[in-house]
Amino acid sequence: MNATPAMSIAAAHVVGHFINGEGVADDNRPIPVTNPATGQVTKHVAMATKATVEDAIAAAEAAFPAWRNTRPAKRAKVMFRFKALLEEHAEEIVAALTNEHGKVLDDAMGEFVRGIEVVDYACGIPQLLKGEHTKNVGPNIDSWSEFQPLGVVAGITPFNFPAMVPMWMFPMAIACGNTFVLKPSEKDPTAPMLIAQLFKEAGLPDGVYNVVNGDKEAVDTLLEDPRVQAISFVGSTPIAEYIYATGTKNGKRVQALGGAKNHAVVMPDADLDNTVNALMGAAYGSCGERCMAISVAVCVGDETADTVVSKLKSELQDLKVGCGTDTSNNMGPLVTKVHHDKVRSYVDLGVEEGAELVVDGRDLVVDGHEDGFFLGGCLFDKVTPDMRIYQEEIFGPVLCVVRAESQEHAMQLIDNHEYGNGTCIFTRDGEAARYFADNIQVGMVGINVPLPVPVATHSFGGWKRSLFGDLFAYGPDSIRFYTRRKTITQRWPSGGVREKAQFSFPSNS
């Protein structure tokens, strides 16, 4: 194991790894983990070397044969215990999410609960893994299919949902009989490590689930190691494209979920008060650091746009921004100073490009948290498709209003965008809603629902450059992604009968 027993930085302040059922101390290239509300470094996290990642892969490979042959019902029992432990330790994990990501506690709890829902779905694995059987497909011939695990699989997950997104992956992968190596974000590593300990406590055998913290060196090791059979990824589109290209080149099954620029179409007949409330939560919740955040409101008609902008401006005056541990706040800080500065630079860019900055949150200062990475809610009007603030994913509390002449014009804007993750329409017209849902070129669609994130019994994924690969995350697609179908055909000839050789292609005639 590439770990150092005596570390140059106190062990209590360095997050290592979780390999083969044990916490592994490591001081290799430690980088700071910051509380975004205060700007203070609270701990460091080690960046795994290639050798450390290979140790995790080896542990997963060694654990696979026994776990593969563990009855699905027994795997489900581990999942049930794991779910109970997650619920029991929810407050501890949610506090870690808020302290390292910055999101408000209520929002962090919402994330965590949605992750647990996938664990709940995984508890039904004995039913989900049932194959298909046909008797007498030919003379005394029976045929059936079954779903077999792949082996060692891996997940690479982003900073914005450090609990939920890993739980999109590993519960289903492990329930299907695979073993797993997770490479979470280095920006908020505590929650994934706490969850790994709880999984062990639930009775998961050592080596079935491993966590390695790291950067590109760790990612590339997972992508290149032939023992890793599949990779799941959630993050930005450039990295998703790299993950997909590199992983498939190395013979791996890959699902890589990328970026988004989610549009909300506001029709003239919409309930504008409720629409604005929905836009506020969808655009500014979690400080806009969601791949399903609404970042563009396409208002059909100038009258609709004028009303929506006026109401949003009024609501933004009451938006409470501050430390995430204060549940009276609506929005916390951005995750890091680097990300804060990047988002702020997009606001500067929008002004330069000629968009109308209706609400400017760049100079927000939170009393008592002057060093935190806070940015107030920003609102642009009269944004056009040629502007970079329209074309690129900002991933912050910035909402752009685009004016469209008709529903068809609004839909054309969405279809022409490179991303196709999520979208929604606000309307009272059932015909308009049905036409929108049937024809829009986007993977997840809401009708008067601003964040159409599928529940655990469905699957999550976008179209176009928001997804690289054929299968969505969690839900029914996860069974298909984390298993291989095997079809078996058997025949038992009647005893004592000598059969002639058949040279023609077998048929069921």
For the annotated catalytic residues, the residue numbers are 291
Return the bridge partners of 402, or none: 298
Going from the C-alpha of 1 to that of each of 4, 49, 192, 213, the distances in angstroms are 9, 10, 20, 14
**Of residues 300, 288, 311, 299, the one with CA closest to residue 358:** 311
Q: Can you tell me the distance from the alpha carbon of 288 to that of 274, in angstroms, rounded to the nearest whole number?
A: 19
How far apart are alpha carbons 171 and 108 in whole angstroms?
A: 19
Amino acid sitting at position 507: S
Instruction: Using DSSP, state whether 16 is helix, strand or coil.
Output: coil
Nearest to 194 by CA among 268, 328, 94, 311: 94
Phi, psi of 167 (to 5 degrees): -75, -10
Integer Cα distance of 456 and 89 in angstroms: 21
CB neighbourhood size of 301 (10 A): 15
Helix spans in 214-360 (H)? 216-224, 237-249, 272-284, 302-317, 337-353
Over its C-alpha atoms, the chain yields an Rg (Å, rounded) of 25
Q: What gap in Å lies between CA 210 and CA 196, rounded to an integer?
A: 7
The one-letter code for the residue type at 124 is G
β-pair partners for 256: 233, 468
Cβ(236)–Cβ(393) below 8 Å = yes
In whole angstroms, what is the distance from residue 261 CA to residue 155 CA?
24
Q: Please give the Cα distance from 473 to 350 (Å, whole number).
A: 34
Please say whether the beta carbons of 388 and 394 come within 8 A: no
Count CA atoms closer than 13 A to 474's CA, side-chain side.
25
